[in-house]
Amino acid sequence: MVIRKRRRGKYNAQPVVIDGIRFASKAEGAYYMLIRNKPHKITMQEPFEILSAFKINGKRYAARKYKPDFCFYDGEKLAKVV
């Protein structure tokens, strides 16, 4: 029987749970602690489509998407992405 060690991530980030929310790293959790009581509307892990799907010479390319850790809104307007 071969026992394999669990491989660590590229940046050796350790997950952390704060207020019942699991964050991928301690740094992300610490940033959440700083911003959680701010008056702005904050969303987490909201996906954005950077580039729509397209075709060139009959070859189809998939849409490009980005999922930031935090998005800040000022009313309905996107103010900041972290």
Asked if residue 10 belongs to a domain, the reply is no
Q: Report yes or no on 33 lying in a domain.
A: yes
Each residue's pLDDT tens digit, 5-33? 777 678 888 889 999 999 989 999 999 99
Tell whether 50 is covered by a domain. Answer: yes
Give residue 68's domain range.
Answer: 16-81
Determine which of 5-9, 26-30, 34-38, 74-78 has the lowest per-residue pLDDT on average: 5-9
> Does residue 11 fall inside a structural domain?
no
Total count of domains within the chain? 1
pLDDT for 1: 67
Determine, yes or no, domain membership for 55.
Answer: yes
Q: How far apart are CA 46 and CA 64, in angstroms?
A: 14
* 75 pLDDT more than 90: no
Tokens of 71: 């998005």
* Token pair of 9 as six digits: 């991530």
